[in-house]
Chain A
Amino acid sequence: DGGITQSPKYLFRKEGQNVTLSCEQNLNHDAMYWYRQDPGQGLRLIYYSQIVNDFQKGDIAEGYSVSREKKESFPLTVTSAQKNPTAFYLCASSIRTALRSEHEQYFGPGTRLTVT
């Protein structure tokens, strides 16, 4: 079964601790993305990566870091510098083909992070 997995589903951390959220895909997609969703708001782009060993900041990258050492994996670290880290985090991936645009992104089930 092809898909995107995120782990864990729920994560609780104390303020001041860094935490890493996992995202893995076996769709052979080149591009991967991290979004944050807050209640009553749409998704906001944190980071994205078009190829291995390359990534770009999105609209709200401050306080976050990523790596892309393998095509299948795009972990997100929420650092202690992120002022309001409690949110729902969604990972997505996409591929450009003759029939599909890279805008057509497919999402994982998300990780709900609570920091107290």
Chain B
Amino acid sequence: EDKVVQSPLSLVVHEGDTVTLNCSYEVTNFRSLLWYKQEKKAPTFLFMLTSSGIEKKSGRLSSILDKKELFSILNITATQTGDSAIYLCAAGQGAQKLVFGQGTRLTINP
């Protein structure tokens, strides 16, 4: 059975801390790994990774994929209260399908 597992499920930190969110996957016909941020309603796209070991960065966020060990991490440095959200990891399967993890609920306290 295809599955994507995220950890931790919930995380509470103080503003300024650095956090690492984890995503492991076991998906047939794997093609890509995606990260989304969901604040209230629509998930918004953060990153898509297809190659192992190549870090993608956007401001304070960065992500990397390990296709040998079947996992990805999302790092957020110098966290701000605006980073509070649910972070979703999804594995791209075949031509179009995405298999989502349960999400990590991140809370940043001032």
A interface residues, Cβ below 8 angstroms from B: 4, 31, 33, 35, 40-45, 48, 50, 58, 90, 94, 101-110
A contact residues around B61 at 8 Å (CB): none
Closest to B101 in A: A42
**What residues of B have a CB within 8 angstroms of the CB of A43 in the complex?**
43, 88, 90, 98, 100
A103 touching B101, Cβ below 8 Å: no
Residue of A nearest to B97 (CB): A45
Closest A-B pairs by Cβ, 7 of them: A42-B100, A103-B92, A107-B42, A43-B100, A109-B41, A102-B96, A110-B41
CA A44 – CA B3 in complex, angstroms? 11
Secondary structure class of chain B's binding surface, majority of residues: strand
Interface size class of B (residues with CB under 8 A): 20 to 34
Please indicate the chain B residues that have their CB under 8 angstroms from the CB of A48 in the complex.
96-97
Q: Which residues of B contact A (CB under 8 A)?
A: 4, 6, 9, 31-32, 34, 36, 41-45, 48, 50, 88, 90, 92, 95-98, 100-103
- Chain B, Cβ-Cβ closest to A58: B97
Using known A-B contacts A41-B102, A42-B4, A48-B97, determine if residue A103 contacts B42 with beta carbons closer than 8 Å.
Answer: no
